[in-house]
Amino acid sequence: MQKLKFDPHFILRTPLNSVNGNISEKIFSEALYLSTPVFYEEYKKNTLKLLIESKELKKVNISTYKYKTRASTRCTPFARICSGG
């Protein structure tokens, strides 16, 4: 059996913003677009105040909250919102 060799260096991925901080709109929008283009379009309608129906608006707001929470606590699968060190 082959012996495993470990590299003494490692990469630590952390969320780009903290739980209490706010991610910049530009970075969040780009990460959202890369991960879910369909929802990104709904998100943009919401930011431009094009959503009229309150049920639709509520769904978009809840989903946006979930994405921002995930961006604050985990960097995967949103590689755009992580930092490395």
What pLDDT digit, counting tens, does each position of 2-28 carry? 888 888 887 777 776 665 566 778 888
Q: What is the pLDDT of residues 36-79, one digit of tens each?
A: 889 899 888 888 777 667 788 888 889 988 888 887 777 665 55
% pLDDT > 90, the chain: 5
- Dihedral pair phi/psi, residue 7, rounded to 5°: -80, 135
Closest to 20 in 3D by CA, of 77, 79, 69, 75: 69
